[in-house]
Chain A
């Protein structure tokens, strides 16, 4: 076909719609996902700005205001602390600022542990899927065996071993969560490596490592991103679960799990200590789930 100079020029001016532009448009048209992103953004913003938002430091003890209800609390309470909008805890610390500091820890654990699982899972899955054959069989067999281990018990033992080390908590949870990621990436890689552009790269002399990092991994980003948004809430839950049992974050630092656990101990006399952290955590988990569902719909339209 002969293409004249003019048509070529005009076609240059038309901007192509990439997969990502399309996906973003679909994501922003999904009302639940959009609300999720806005609310989550607000929670994150509150967490980041926490020290600026409250006149009280997160660890300041005040023995005059022990477990006092917020000034606006509708039910009768033994004592009230008008300056503290969420009330105070058992040693008189401001609950609002503690919930926000808890958000910092919970969100940070969620993001970092997910990142750890992302790196391990994507590399492992891509290598297994690309190499194929016996190595793939062996690598996936290891994943199968690890899958059948009751992992939460190992994380608990790890936390006991290393004395509830903060960094280790990230690594331990991340090291548990990579298995599903590896499976997803391997499955995608198996189909991608049959494609012509991989053959072209190989013909052009690109090595296996180059093909995996430059050609395979960029093409599995879609499903991986969907899984990442669903992993973050899972990780937050796991951290809170450990903290709830007394095996996670230690005082005076806090997380939603610690706050909920403390609140549950005193819910008869001071229910706000349970309700506010629980509310923050549940809302955050909802946001992540809505965003994850929205992403899946946006990136994988054939599922709708």
Chain B
């Protein structure tokens, strides 16, 4: 188990390195610099700015300097938000994104598992059909369609919820973003749990449990759910990646000050350091949580360790 963990960890670090390298050189290959503006700067000013940000050095020097800084947890100053460093910006944005993301994941797992179990218990009857139809809708309709339409219906026509904004994280403000972010995941989780649950419910040990007179409730909660939940754990990592990607859209639409919005704004403004910083932050998160999911799976299912 420990050997497996170390092996997984050893392969995570090169991946992170590849990501940083790729992102760095891709950003630098982009035409147009961060200081191209309508107003032409005098050559002296331009030279001073470039010197201040190390942009006058050869590319490989810049890369080495950057790697050294990243290793010390310094992602450099933001080119566009001049009074802030990238770490500061990420520091203010990350809690917002994390809150939305964690709430959406929790909601997806709880609601998805419940709906999937219900569908499996009533296989080929109306609860099953309605859950599966809703799941197809949830999987197919993208978040950039559900977000404005839900806002239109609940925010504008019904006037129940605010249309956007963060408002210090008030629950009325984060309800819609969390719902939009979790809908596709609820659908996928429900489908997955229904599939594995149907299979598990046909297993011999469930028949035994029925034969000794246990209630359906105890069979599901005490016996079936444990086994049925396994495929969900290997889905955690892709789900997380999907939630992160979705947060780009959701933060943009609802005007939430998270790192997804910083990333999009940074990309549009060519704020190299900010974009790089956010990519590194996301990549670290994904790799770390992938690692956790793998370890959890290896802990629960010894077969996974052999792969």
Interface residues of A (CB under 8 A from B): 145, 148-150, 152-154, 156-158, 160-163, 233, 237, 240-241, 244-247, 257, 260-261, 263-264, 267-268, 271, 274-275, 278, 281-282, 285-286, 289
**Minimum distance in angstroms from B183 CB to a CB of chain A:** 13
**Minimum distance in angstroms from B292 CB to a CB of chain A:** 14
Known: A247-B268, A268-B156. A153 touches B263 (CB 8 A): yes
Interface residues on B, range: 35 or more
> Could you tell me the distance between the alpha carbons of A240 and B264 in the complex, rounded to whole angstroms?
15
Nearest opposing residue in chain B for A290, CB measure? B136
**Minimum distance in angstroms from B57 CB to a CB of chain A:** 21
List B residues 230-282 near A (Cβ within 8 Å): 241, 244-245, 248-249, 252-253, 263-264, 267-268, 270, 275, 278-279, 282
> Could you tell me the distance between the alpha carbons of A293 and B141 in the complex, rounded to whole angstroms?
17
Please tell me if the beta carbons of A289 and B282 are within 8 angstroms of each other in the complex. Answer: no
Please tell me if the beta carbons of B23 and A278 are within 8 angstroms of each other in the complex. Answer: no
Please tell me if the beta carbons of A267 and B156 are within 8 angstroms of each other in the complex. Answer: yes
Please tell me if the beta carbons of A153 and B145 are within 8 angstroms of each other in the complex. Answer: no
- Secondary structure call for the A interface: helix
Please tell me if the beta carbons of A282 and B241 are within 8 angstroms of each other in the complex. Answer: no
Contacts of B241 in A (CB 8 A): 150
Please tell me if the beta carbons of A245 and B140 are within 8 angstroms of each other in the complex. Answer: no
Q: A153-B23, A153-B278, A285-B141 are in contact. List 8 more A-B contacts (CB 8 A).
A: A148-B286, A150-B279, A154-B22, A157-B27, A161-B29, A261-B144, A282-B140, A289-B140
Contacts of A150 in B (CB 8 A): 19, 241, 244-245, 279, 282-283, 286
Q: Can you report 9 A-B residue pairs in the complex whose CB atoms are below 8 A from each other?
A: A149-B283, A150-B19, A160-B270, A240-B144, A244-B249, A247-B264, A267-B148, A274-B148, A289-B140
Selected contact of A157 from candidates B26, B151, B253, CB within 8 Å = B26
Selected contact of A278 from candidates B15, B30, B149, B283, CB within 8 Å = B149
> Could you tell me the distance between the alpha carbons of A184 and B278 in the complex, rounded to whole angstroms?
32
Contacts of A261 in B (CB 8 A): 144
Contacts of B142 in A (CB 8 A): 237, 240-241, 281, 285
Contacts of B298 in A (CB 8 A): none
> Could you tell me the distance between the alpha carbons of A285 and B270 in the complex, rounded to whole angstroms?
33
Please tell me if the beta carbons of B267 and A267 are within 8 angstroms of each other in the complex. Answer: no
Please tell me if the beta carbons of A264 and B148 are within 8 angstroms of each other in the complex. Answer: yes
Please tell me if the beta carbons of B152 and A245 are within 8 angstroms of each other in the complex. Answer: no
Nearest opposing residue in chain A for B245, CB measure? A152
Nearest opposing residue in chain B for A263, CB measure? B148
Interface residues of B (CB under 8 A from A): 14-15, 18-19, 22-23, 26-27, 29-31, 136, 139-142, 144-145, 147-149, 151-152, 156, 241, 244-245, 248-249, 252-253, 263-264, 267-268, 270, 275, 278-279, 282-283, 286-287, 290
Contacts of A263 in B (CB 8 A): 148
Nearest opposing residue in chain A for B244, CB measure? A150
Please tell me if the beta carbons of B144 and A241 are within 8 angstroms of each other in the complex. Answer: yes
> Could you tell me the distance between the alpha carbons of A275 and B152 in the complex, rounded to whole angstroms?
10
Selected contact of B290 from candidates A148, A246, A278, CB within 8 Å = A148
> Could you tell me the distance between the alpha carbons of A145 and B287 in the complex, rounded to whole angstroms?
11
Please tell me if the beta carbons of B145 and A241 are within 8 angstroms of each other in the complex. Answer: no
Ranked nearest first, the 7 interchain pairs of A and B with the lowest CB-CB distance are: A264-B148, A161-B30, A244-B144, A278-B145, A160-B267, A157-B26, A285-B140
Selected contact of A282 from candidates B141, B152, B249, B253, CB within 8 Å = B141
> Could you tell me the distance between the alpha carbons of A285 and B137 in the complex, rounded to whole angstroms?
10
> Could you tell me the distance between the alpha carbons of A82 and B65 in the complex, rounded to whole angstroms?
63
Chain A CB within 10 Å, residue with most, of B139, B142, B253, B283:
B142
Please tell me if the beta carbons of A274 and B149 are within 8 angstroms of each other in the complex. Answer: yes
Please tell me if the beta carbons of B144 and A148 are within 8 angstroms of each other in the complex. Answer: no
Contacts of B23 in A (CB 8 A): 153-154, 157
